[in-house]
Amino acid sequence: MRKFERAGIDFVMLEDSTALTDIYGGTFESELKWTPRAPKHDPMALASRLAYETEKIGIVVTASTSFYPPFLLTRLLSTLDHLSHGRIGWNIVTSTGDRAAQNFGHDTLPVHDERYEIAEEFVDVANALWASWDVDAASPIHPGLESYVDHTKVRTIDHAGKHFKVRGPLNTLPSPQGKPVICQAGASASGIDLAARVADLVVSAPKGRAAMRTYRDTIRSRAAGFGRNPDDVKVLYMVTPILGETEKDARRRAERYYEPTDAAIARRLIMLSGDIDFSRFDVDKPIPDDLHTEGSTSILENLRTWAAGRTIRETVAAERTESLRLVGTPASVADEMESVIEEVGGDGFLFFGGGGGVLNRRYVDDVCDGLMPELRRRGVAGTGFRGQSLREHLAGAR
């Protein structure tokens, strides 16, 4: 984490899920053996420690609107925002797969669009709770006052909606950032709507320059439709740069990284098994036409775009999860990143973990010691933290 901070990386995002799944093949073996998704400790406790260990870098935690009670999460995020002096962000997810629901007293998750309907209301409640204290309600200096909080600046929210009933107010002090930075990764129509309406930061993985531009245009025009300034919604694209000392070295590494070995294909199919058990299918036959998911609809759609005329094995080998394949020396990859932002627009990139999604030391060194200095030299990233809070830092990005 300190290394990321020294390298000038703006924030880290701690991904999360709330279930150990056994969808692929009906056992936990594949999930535990092959994916970086498990074991997984709670990001909230981790964020608290990371805030203590660092000074400037933003910390974005993931929390699901399908399971947390809004009051509990809002209070938790406010507390973390205090502990980090205003560096917390919340990655809003709605969860995928019934295994998560089964840890919270339900047999199944609500269907995809209903989850987003719940998320919309959840965020409205959270925003109302964060606004239930005026920013100047508490004062460290209070001559003549019995309490250092002015009770007239604190009020109930009295929310009674379709999914939540919350009286409020929050019982924490106002969040140092007003409210944590809101982050979202919606890719479906309902996901994009939520992101455009409420997010400060959108992390995305549209494939290729044209799709990246379309995605960003869609987010910006939807945000304007919600009465927002589109520049207030920062759009980042997901990439996993593969770096080498020479172009040839990088290409060799990329060949290994993308090699469609049986293990690599199996690993991807495990990751795709949100509520569909991909072990049931013959990998040398096409993806069945009638597959339906109430998990990540956009992930299945993406898979289908690569599937025409291909077997499952060939589809997975051809499929891309990141927005662009960045392969080269730190200097050539930095050039490409700069040209992508100039041509496509957008506010930056989210580096996704290296081999198999795992953050190994080599990948971290490559990015922090190789790529970031090149980006800094071009003045496009890592040029210093603007302001104390993550919100101020992001606002200064444009």
Ligand X SMILES: Cc1cc2nc3c(=O)[nH]c(=O)nc-3n(C[C@H](O)[C@H](O)[C@H](O)COP(=O)(O)O)c2cc1C
Which residues would be at the binding site for ligand X (CB under 6 A)? 15-17, 62, 91, 93, 95-96, 185-188, 191, 203-205, 238, 296-299, 350
Q: What is the arrangement of strands in the sheet containing 234-239, beginning at the earlier edge strand?
A: 11-14, 58-64, 88-93, 181-184, 201-204, 234-239, 348-351
Residue nearest to ligand X (CB): 191
Q: To the nearest whole angstrom, how small is the minimum distance from the Cβ of residue 14 to ligand X? A: 8
Q: To the nearest whole angstrom, how small is the minimum distance from the Cβ of residue 305 to ligand X? A: 14
Q: Which amino acid is at 280?
A: R
Asked if 81 contacts 125 with a C-beta cutoff of 8 angstroms, the reply is no
Judged by beta carbon, residue 30 or residue 96, the one nearer ligand X is: 96
Q: To the nearest whole angstrom, how small is the minimum distance from the Cβ of residue 17 to ligand X? A: 5
Render 335-385 in DSSP notation, one character per residue: HHHHHHHHHH--SEEEE--SGGG---HHHHHIIIIIIHHHHHHTTSS-S--
Q: To the nearest whole angstrom, how small is the minimum distance from the Cβ of residue 294 to ligand X? A: 10
Specify the DSSP class assigned to residue 226. Answer: T
The residues that bridge with 236 in the sheet, in sequence order, are 203, 348
Judged by beta carbon, residue 170 or residue 197, the one nearer ligand X is: 197
Q: To the nearest whole angstrom, how small is the minimum distance from the Cβ of residue 302 to ligand X? A: 9
Q: To the nearest whole angstrom, how small is the minimum distance from the Cβ of residue 186 to ligand X? A: 4
**What is the C-alpha separation between 355 and 360, in angstroms, rounded?**
8
Judged by beta carbon, residue 250 or residue 275, the one nearer ligand X is: 275
- Cα–Cα separations (whole angstroms), residue 276 to 32, 97, 105, 148, 296: 18, 9, 21, 55, 11
Judged by beta carbon, residue 66 or residue 172, the one nearer ligand X is: 66
Judged by beta carbon, residue 91 or residue 273, the one nearer ligand X is: 91
Asked if 206 contacts 302 with a C-beta cutoff of 8 angstroms, the reply is no
Q: What's the burial of 117, exposed, middle or buried (CB within 10 Å: 0-12/13-18/19+)?
A: middle
- Cα–Cα separations (whole angstroms), residue 165 to 70, 129, 168, 354: 9, 12, 10, 42
Q: b vs e for 315-341, b when ≥16 Cβ sit within 10 Å of the residue's Cβ?
A: bbbebebbbbbbbbbbebbbebbbebb
Judged by beta carbon, residue 170 or residue 194, the one nearer ligand X is: 194
Judged by beta carbon, residue 215 or residue 385, the one nearer ligand X is: 215
Judged by beta carbon, residue 205 or residue 242, the one nearer ligand X is: 205
Q: To the nearest whole angstrom, how small is the minimum distance from the Cβ of residue 321 to ligand X? A: 9
Q: To the nearest whole angstrom, how small is the minimum distance from the Cβ of residue 41 to ligand X? A: 13
